[in-house]
A and B are shown apart, each in its own frame.
Chain A
Amino acid sequence: MIKVEHLSKHFGKIKAVDGISFQVQEHENLILLGTSGCGKTTTLKMINRLIEPSAGKIAIDGKNIFDQSPEVLRRGIGYVLQNNGLFPHYTVAENISVVPQLLKWDKKRTEKRVEELLEKLHLSKDCLHVYPNELSGGQQQRVGLARALVADPPVLLMDEPFGALDNVTRAKIHVEFKALDELKRKTIIMVTHDVQEAFELGDRICLMDKGKIVQCGTPSELLFNPHNNFVKGFLAHQRLQLEFKTIRLRDIWKWLPPQLSKGGAFDLSWDVILWDVLEQFKFNASETVNITNKENKEEKSASFEQLMSAFYQYKKQEAHE
């Protein structure tokens, strides 16, 4: 668990970070979201002491990070840089082995771990002995991630890890990212300025502006309970898409009609997000889908129109709360 209290960083007169506080629970993925220059990177770097704060406290698992030597602290925190920052003079294998080397692992153990990670991150073994500049941007990004994960640190800090990628590759990596078992055991703080990415990957999102946190909450809290117009405005032009990605079938369950006949084209769990359901209708909007309530095994089915109507009723209700 990471606890940040009243953290500030001033560069001369610029208040890059201005008295922010937040917590990240164990195994949670917290996203720092905000426009360029709002202090995301600065916040992140204070957590592994790349930048010393002007004021404030940071504790990881209850331990004040300023009581430890910065080197030891950093070896226990995985860090993925904004532009991957791979060592150009090291091969992929050497790049990934940097931290194990610093931790004085024996060679066998390091090798085994590197191979294991390559497999998990879908990098071919041929990559091991090439240099970073011979890899594609997506591959470099994965190596950067592997380097951060190799010593299995409990905490992972990621600064726009997918910033430099095209949309197709990014979408692909997002899928892999969510599926990666290694990440499920980690407490992650991830910086992005991409709202979509934040909603897709984050358990909670801290929206920042001018060094301050405007709102910190789950995606649906931000979406349906914005604290102020800034939050609303920030999400406005992608709102519909975000809603589809946030709302799950279980959320609109009560507005769906009961099953009349079992004859829908697909069977879906009620944990599926609306976005994915709509994907299914891509080719045939007149179909209906079958949905199963995981708790009591009740089944319902719905057509595209019925889903949409349930969605609007849900929103109306959220807005009234």
Chain B
Amino acid sequence: MNEQQQTLWDFMRQQSDKLWEQTIQHIGLTFISLFIAVLIGLPLGIFITRRKQFSGAILGIAGVLQTIPSIALLGFMIPVLGIGAKPAIAALLLYALLPIIRNTYTGIIGVDAAVKEAAVAMGMSKWQVLVKVELPLAMPVIFAGIRTATVITVGVATLASYIAAGGLGEFIFGGISLNNTNMILAGAIPAALLAILFDFLLSRLQKLNIQKLKTAAATLPLLLILLSSFYFLPDAYGTKLKAGFTPEFMGRQDGNVGLQSKYGLKIHTVVISDAVMYKAAYEKQLDVISGYSTDGRLKAYGLVILDDDKHIFPPYYAALIIREDALKKFPELEKTLNLLSGKINDSIMTALNYKTDYLHQSPERVAKDFLVSNKLWKPEQSGSDGMVRIGSKIFGEQYILANIYSMLIKGYTNYGVATKTGLGGTKICFDALTNNQIDFYPEYTGTGLLAILHPSPKTIDSLTPSPDATYNYVRDEFKKKYNIKWLKPIGFNNSYALMMRRSQAKELNIKTILNLKRYLESR
């Protein structure tokens, strides 16, 4: 435990620059959104106290907005506002709106009718009644609303990192995808502390007596503006192109860390979620992104992969891994499975992924169409000679492969097939294989190397430049350690890659990462 804390502390110290920047961004985002939310919510709240017939509709809409899942709301924002600060602020302020409108409304409605009447009877105008009587008396309730909104906003602002708006979410989500607890905590703890701190400060403000509250209410806007301006402090340097990398890519040796150390690539980088990254590149919000080389969106959005001259991205050749005893049990299996080897290259796999991910065809149909067009398809045989169990991880490409193999086995042998698709991540799939729950599943050489074998960094460095060396290494080690056989590579490589829009890459004549670096450094 102690060690854990120690290393967390170390991590935070090491990354103090980033941590500081993210915290500042987080505060800035929170308060810009809050400031605008107050600017909109307060008058709206007042408005519905005057026109009660609108109160139901406006509170209803604000309530519905709040029930939209944050990520979905951020998603809706992108087509309209692009990526970065604008959509993040817009989404955050929509969340903050409900408590502010509602509390303004209930606060003002709750002011003693006799007191309001007295104000009117003294000869105050409507405006005077509002500023001299209603708002001051509703202030504690309105403050409570702003307080709620603040805490909500601090929390939701972590999601801003999905759309390249920065904030502490970069550490949190980077940490989650890298399975790095210290990184998660380095983001989560400051975020929680911010929420507690702001809540505490506002609660102090709320408890001030009404007299002092007048001055407090006057200073609040200034304070909000000041804190909001934090957001604009960083973002000092820009380059000709803008890159968007996933939180995971940012933290990986075979990701941004390698790009910087091995290529010395200096590019203005924002952190963004995999879910919106491709589209953002397509819409020219980003110029360079980190993607997977066989992702269907590559085709959908007209992107090209830049060659990795220095081989910092280890090859992720796909091949089946199968237990030796299964091969013995089903003698015809290896021959049948190898029917596919070399048949699917990167662009074919991308095209297949495109069909399921973007044209929303079922994996069965895509599998059958593929086999038919390659003249590999045969009708089903009896399936009476025992049951082969196929596994797959939980994403589209693996579903397609599982279906193709299933059809091959049924067509070319007398074996029956049971598929266990959607076995989560690498660890679950591999455990199922070694524990004789499944007989084989498609795996990637890079994953086998980095996630299962965990060799020394030196070995990794020596292997990764060569796809064949990597394949040979994992094949030999798996055989030795687990008695599992790597069949021949299927033919495609699903590794990390840098991508650009095809048109832009052509225009700037960028084909490789070194081209990109040269372009960035040129004047």
Residue from the set A71, A74, A89 with the largest chain B CB neighbour count within 10 Å: A89
The interface residues of chain B lying within 8 Å CB-to-CB of A102 are 122-124, 128
Q: Residue B118 contacts which of A72, A81, A131 (CB distance < 8 angstroms)? A: A81
Tell me the chain B residues, 106-136 only, with Cβ under 8 Å from chain A: 112, 114-115, 117-125, 128, 133, 136
Interface of B is mostly: helix
The interface residues of chain A lying within 8 Å CB-to-CB of B120 are 50, 74
Q: Are A87 and B114 in contact (CB under 8 A)?
A: no
Q: Residue A75 contacts which of B117, B118, B122, B137 (CB distance < 8 angstroms)? A: B122
CB-nearest residue of chain A to B214: A89
- Say whether, besides A87-B115, A89-B210, A71 and B125 are in contact (CB < 8 Å): yes
Q: Does A23 contact B (CB under 8 A)?
A: no
The interface residues of chain B lying within 8 Å CB-to-CB of A71 are 123-125
Q: Residue A89 contacts which of B123, B125, B136 (CB distance < 8 angstroms)? A: B136
The interface residues of chain A lying within 8 Å CB-to-CB of B211 are 89
**How far is B290's CA from A222's CA once the two chains are assembled, in angstroms?**
96
Tell me the chain B residues, 131-145 only, with Cβ under 8 Å from chain A: 133, 136-137
Tell me the chain A residues, 131-148 only, with Cβ under 8 Å from chain B: 131, 147
The interface residues of chain B lying within 8 Å CB-to-CB of A79 are 118, 121-122
The interface residues of chain B lying within 8 Å CB-to-CB of A85 are 112, 114-115, 117-118, 121
The interface residues of chain A lying within 8 Å CB-to-CB of B115 are 85-88
**How far is B112's CA from A84's CA once the two chains are assembled, in angstroms?**
12
Tell me the chain A residues, 35-50 only, with Cβ under 8 Å from chain B: 48, 50
Measured as residues with beta carbon below 8 angstroms from the partner, the interface class of chain B is 10 to 19
Q: Does A82 contact B (CB under 8 A)?
A: yes
Task: Name the distance in Å between A145's Cβ and chain B's nearest Cβ.
Answer: 13
Tell me the chain A residues, 87-113 only, with Cβ under 8 Å from chain B: 87-89, 98-99, 102
CB-nearest residue of chain A to B137: A89
Q: Are A75 and B123 in contact (CB under 8 A)?
A: yes
Q: Residue B117 contacts which of A50, A73, A89, A99 (CB distance < 8 angstroms)? A: A50
Q: Are A48 and B210 in contact (CB under 8 A)?
A: no
- Say whether, besides A81-B114, A87-B133, A50 and B123 are in contact (CB < 8 Å): no
The interface residues of chain B lying within 8 Å CB-to-CB of A218 are none
How many contacting A-B pairs (Cβ < 8 A)? 57
Q: Residue A48 contacts which of B121, B124, B125, B137 (CB distance < 8 angstroms)? A: B121
Task: Name the distance in Å between A307's Cβ and chain B's nearest Cβ.
Answer: 46
**How far is B122's CA from A89's CA once the two chains are assembled, in angstroms?**
16
The interface residues of chain B lying within 8 Å CB-to-CB of A83 are 114
**How far is B492's CA from A54's CA once the two chains are assembled, in angstroms?**
86
**How far is B211's CA from A292's CA once the two chains are assembled, in angstroms?**
59
Residue from the set B114, B121, B136, B210 with the largest chain A CB neighbour count within 10 Å: B121
The interface residues of chain B lying within 8 Å CB-to-CB of A131 are 210
The interface residues of chain B lying within 8 Å CB-to-CB of A86 are 115, 118
The interface residues of chain A lying within 8 Å CB-to-CB of B112 are 85, 88
**How far is B122's CA from A87's CA once the two chains are assembled, in angstroms?**
11
Q: Are A74 and B210 in contact (CB under 8 A)?
A: no
Task: Name the distance in Å between B173's Cβ and chain A's nearest Cβ.
Answer: 46
CB-nearest residue of chain A to B136: A89
Residue from the set A71, A83, A84, A85 with the largest chain B CB neighbour count within 10 Å: A85
**How far is B121's CA from A83's CA once the two chains are assembled, in angstroms?**
14
**How far is B137's CA from A71's CA once the two chains are assembled, in angstroms?**
22
CB-nearest residue of chain A to B125: A71
The interface residues of chain A lying within 8 Å CB-to-CB of B117 are 50, 81, 85
**How far is B119's CA from A73's CA once the two chains are assembled, in angstroms?**
14
Q: Are A50 and B122 in contact (CB under 8 A)?
A: no
Q: Are B123 and A72 in contact (CB under 8 A)?
A: yes
Q: Are B114 and A74 in contact (CB under 8 A)?
A: no
Provide 25 A-B residue pairs closer than 8 Å at the C-beta atoms, listed in order of the A residue: A50-B121, A71-B124, A71-B125, A73-B123, A74-B121, A75-B122, A75-B123, A79-B118, A79-B121, A81-B117, A82-B114, A85-B112, A85-B114, A85-B118, A85-B121, A86-B118, A87-B115, A87-B133, A88-B115, A89-B136, A89-B210, A98-B119, A102-B122, A102-B128, A131-B210
Interface, chain B (partner A; CB < 8 A): 112, 114-115, 117-125, 128, 133, 136-137, 210-211
The 4 closest A-B pairs by CB, nearest first: A85-B118, A75-B123, A74-B123, A79-B121
